[in-house]
Amino acid sequence: MNVYDFSVKTRDGGQVSLADYRGKVLLIVNTATGCGFTPQYEDLQQIYDECAGSGFEILDFPCNQFAEQAPGTDEEIHTFCKGRFGITFPQFAKIDVLGEGADPLFRWLSENTKFEGFGGPMGIVMNGVAKKMDRDYKNNGNVKWNFTKFLIDRDGNIAARFEPTVNMKKVKEKIKEIL
């Protein structure tokens, strides 16, 4: 099984097969518009501008499961992201990434990656937040917060996972290495 076995819901209610992205390097991200990590949209757009011509796509999945930081409709979220950060990469319908209602794509991503811990100055804060939500958070691959990123290679396999506290320069370096 790989990423090409999944279909996802578009903002307008349609379905898209991720097989349509076959041969591209993908960065799959669960996002939120009212999060402390929301400014990462700017970094994501810069990476997209620089790498899209080399067969790279960012797939953005808004999620309201973490402190309800992605309120609004799919269109309101998209309008905010386009207006505030100028995003041009694909943004899909809002989804759940945890629990029984978790989107099958994110369930697969979580089950096939390990949580490597939160780093950087925000790591201490995020460890406390994650522990309140899941006492066993260090021992499972569940998405812990907004802006968790999964890097997919050209063959549809998971190449890396980045927690929201990972420096975006490291994310960019790994993307360029895979490209």
Catalytic residue among 35, 51, 63, 81: 35
Q: What is the Rg, in whole angstroms, of the alpha carbon atoms belonging to the chain?
A: 15
CA 140 to mean position of chain CA atoms: 17
- Coil, strand or helix at 168: helix
Q: Please name the residue that has the structure tokens 């895979």.
A: 178
| Strand 158-162, strand 149-152: pairing | antiparallel
- Coil, strand or helix at 93: coil
Beta bridge partners of 58: 27
Catalytic residue at 35? Answer: yes
Q: What is the dihedral of CA 54, 18, 102, 141, to 10 degrees?
A: -50
- Which sequence positions are flagged as catalytic? 35
